[in-house]
Amino acid sequence: MKLRFFEHFDLLLLIPVLILITIGVFFIYSSRIDSSGVLVSDEYIKQIIFASTGLLLMVAFALFDYRRFERISKYFFFALLAVLLYTLFFGKRVNGARSWIGFGNTGVQPSELGKIPFLLFFGYMLEKTEQMSSLKRFLLLCLVLACPVFLILLQPDLGTASVYIPIFIVMCFVAGIPVRYLLLCGITAMLMIIFTVLPSVEEMILKRTLPILAVLRDTKLRLIVIGAVGSICILSLFGYVFFKKRYFYWIAYISGIFSIALILAIPAGKVLKQYQIERLIIFLEPDIDPLGAGWNIIQSKRAIGSGNLFGQGFLKGTLSHLRYLPQQSTDFIFSIISEEWGFVGGFIVFSMYITIILRIAFIIKNTTSVYGYYVAAGIMFMFFYHFIVNVGMAMGIMPITGIPLLFLSYGGSHLWTSMIAIGILMSINYRRLDFNTAF
């Protein structure tokens, strides 16, 4: 019985996770040491508690047959929407976003924990809609995505909301949704963001207005352009239906992307705060506001560069202990690791993440369950996206979006989410050759 209990746990997946969590605790401790060598916070103790409870959650989900979630996932998803709606009106405001619920100094972030019910329900929807036409299936799946993302953006929490979209695209891709639909979704989202931030780019970086961008500043002119481009899209659709010419389809496709992006940029500009817009563009030229919006990126790059090959030594990081680096136990934990452990420390972190990603790829390849295949693919890209965006943010090559580095950054919500995801992956791997339906 004891042997069968331990068979549920994939050591090749568990060991790098435990190594990352341990490194995270050490550097959360280091991040709270001031220049006098005094510990100013007990965050590392809280992180140990989060990690311990996270391990219990991982064990529970590893032992539980993940296929049972398929039947009840819709209840979790609707519960997620209800909690997000509650958070929007009654949640705690932290760092400008009303995205937390709890009492006093303790709380959880529903949008972060909500990735698990979203993944489980979305995997269910992908399997249940396999017989639908591609277009109907894609539109229904877009509706599933839009519900939580819309509520999260209203908080507003751009960073967490941004994680759901690439997970959606990757899961749709492995489920066989046509690439042209996914490109439509991805390009529209990118153009929406670009159209939203371009006026601020004029003001902050170019220091002058460009006539071509007047359409983004003048509401009436924007509506005229939307009407014109939208009309081209509609006429092209009619042309494709009646004449069956392929070029009509692509004209409608391109004009549709532009018109939808221009429309969505209107509410996006109202929902996003000015500081969030500045975060999206300041990485292009952080020196234009070195003491303001560009401070984080500049200090992060300095910290990483000062580490050289072997770093300055544990607890000896200059910039972090002098408090030059904001949010150093959360968003910029990688910067502290690089400053104190240098390139070697960064390489260890990279190696652990690569090991996790490759192991998940093995699980995806070998599972016999379609549902498990979809869910594991979504989890793999969730880990990959968090890693790439956070490290890119720390290195100054991506915008600051507040996305944590999973297993390393301080915080209970994302650590619990990660450990639950690891437990689900272990459940999928253990039952990869089990052909029972488990219902």
pLDDT tens digits, residue range 90-143?
888 876 778 888 755 567 889 999 999 999 999 999 999 998 999 899 999 999
Confidence of residue 388 (pLDDT cuts 50, 70, 90): very high
Cβ partners under 8 Å of residue 305, min gap 6: none
Asked whether the whole model's pTM tops 0.85, one would answer: yes
CA distance 421 to 416: 8
3-class DSSP state for residue 339? helix
Instruction: Sheet with 92-94: list strands edge to edge.
Output: 92-94, 97-103, 106-108
Percentage of the residues of the chain whose pLDDT score is greater than 90: 54
219-243 and 246-271 helices, crossing angle to 10°: 150
What is the pairing mode between strands 92-94 and 106-108? unpaired
Question: Per-residue b/e over 330-364, b at no fewer than 16 CB within 10 Å?
Answer: bbbbbbbbbbbbbeebbebbeebbebbbebbebbb
CA distance 212 to 205: 16
**Helical (H) or strand (E) element with 370:** helix 370-395
Instruction: Reply yes or no on whether the pLDDT at 271 is more than 90.
Output: no
- Give alpha helix (H) positions in 245-315: 246-271, 274-282, 295-306
Instruction: Give the HSE-up count for residue 107: Cα atoms under 13 Å, Cβ half-sphere.
Output: 18
Confidence of residue 383 (pLDDT cuts 50, 70, 90): very high
CA dihedral 405, 408, 411, 417 (to 10 degrees): 70
3-class DSSP state for residue 39? strand
Confidence of residue 1 (pLDDT cuts 50, 70, 90): very low
CA distance 247 to 333: 50
In this structure, what DSSP letter does residue 205 have? I
Higher pLDDT, 386 or 397: 386
> At residue 296, what are phi and psi to the nearest 5 degrees?
-60, -50
- The mean predicted confidence, pLDDT, of the chain is 88
| DSSP string covering 69-129 | HHHHHHHHHHHHHHHHHHHHHHPEEETTEEEEEEETTEEE-HHHHTHHHHHHHHHHHHHHT
Mean pLDDT computed over 215-236: 89
Instruction: Give the HSE-up count for residue 278: Cα atoms under 13 Å, Cβ half-sphere.
Output: 16
Q: Which residues pair with 100 in a beta bridge?
A: 92
Residue 407 tokens read as 């297993």
CA distance 228 to 59: 57
Q: Which residues pair with 107 in a beta bridge?
A: 102
Least confident of 8-17, 135-144, 263-272, 428-437: 428-437
Segment 34-71, tens digit of pLDDT: 877 788 888 999 999 999 999 999 999 999 999 999 98
Residue 365 tokens read as 């390849």
